[in-house]
Structure 1
Amino acid sequence: MTPAIPLVLLGLTDAAFSGFRAYAGTDARIRKQRAAARAALRGLAVGAVLLLAPTLTAVLLLLTARDPARIYGLLSAGGLGYLLPLAVYAVAVLLSLAAYFALPFRGSTLATVVGLGPLTLLRPLAVAAACLGSVLNGGGGPALLVGTIAGAAVLCVEPAVHRRWYHHVR
């Protein structure tokens, strides 16, 4: 199985959340479900465009390789190593989100303060761990290159969305 599909799905989900985070706190209206959904879609769109960079990098590596089967094997092994730390991180985020939505007000506030807030700050470390995992799992230089570009892409979604649509506070 190729790890590309789960990685793309994780990247696009992260991009949608990044769009929402770029919007969060910029609007004092009480009813803002549409605006939050629009922000998530904006993040998804920006993330889809930015995630073309690692995709094109992987394709170029495969097209220019003397031994494409070897490069494909390295990218697959690196992708699995990249996926493991991100999957652990995603499970922690999902558990915090479940607590946020399931618990009463005080519990959901605690879930935000203890879970979602720190996990947002740990995103760059999760990406760094994923890059390390891609190398440790045998992906070598090609997997590290694609993983680093993918990590930079997902970390750039929130600032790009914020700068384009939400740089002013309403």
Structure 2
Amino acid sequence: MTPQDAAPALAVTLTALGLVDSAFSGFRAHAGRDARIRKHRAVVRATLRGLAVGTGLLLAPVLTAGAVLLAAADRDRTYAALAEGAIGFLVPLACYTTAVLLSLAAYLVLPFRASTLALVAGLGPLTLLRPLVLAAACAGTLASGGGAPALLVGAVAGAAVLCVEPLVHRRWYAAPQR
């Protein structure tokens, strides 16, 4: 299977990762703002807000990829470059996602103290590493042969997912709750 054949599956996978990250970003924007014990509704609402904002922002890389393809002199070659770049973009994200899922699994499975440690020692630093992982993903687009078109789309996608949490925070959670 060539990268061009896998391009639709790669696009769906990368979009799904972006949407999941957006949902977590909505949760992070809300985290620590509510001292109630039962805050399931507030957490779901924050997650959905992140998902909604992320859905809107993830249109930017889709439109960028479409514009790159429309402006290309050789669309087949550009499509192949975007597919190669998507593979390079996905590899660091897959490693990062695996680490996040392992931390989440430890948090959900382990006893209270150990799960708290997994949360603090795992998810905390991983959250701070997100911009570096996205930079590595952009570098991966170049290393895999995606070239400038794939780097442009990857950079726009990276900027989009990094903007979700600040936008959700600013829109819904910046003012202290009463």
Q: TM-score range by the shorter chain?
A: over 0.9
Distance in 1 (CA, whole Å) between partners of 2:123 and 2:163 is 19
1:59: which partner in 2? 66
Give yes or no for the alignment of 1:102 onto 2:109: yes
Q: Number of aligned residue pairs: give it.
A: 170
| TM-score normalised according to structure 1 size | 0.99
Identical residues among aligned pairs (%)? 66
Q: 1:147 aligns with which of 154, 172, 178?
A: 154
Distance in 1 (CA, whole Å) between partners of 2:41 and 2:105 is 21
Give yes or no for the alignment of 1:117 onto 2:124: yes
Give yes or no for the alignment of 1:25 onto 2:32: yes
Is the CA contact 1:81–1:130 (under 8 Å) kept in the aligned structure 2? yes
Structure 2: gaps of 5 or more residues: 1-5
RMSD: 0.6
2:16: which partner in 1? 9
Q: 1:164 aligns with which of 162, 165, 171?
A: 171
Distance in 2 (CA, whole Å) between partners of 1:49 and 1:70 is 29
Structure 1: gaps of 5 or more residues: none
| TM-score normalised according to structure 2 size | 0.94
2:95: which partner in 1? 88
Distance in 2 (CA, whole Å) between partners of 1:24 and 1:84 is 29
Which 4+ stretches in 1 moved above 3 angstroms? none
In the alignment, residue 150 of structure 2 is paired with which amino acid?
A
Is the CA contact 1:15–1:154 (under 8 Å) kept in the aligned structure 2? yes
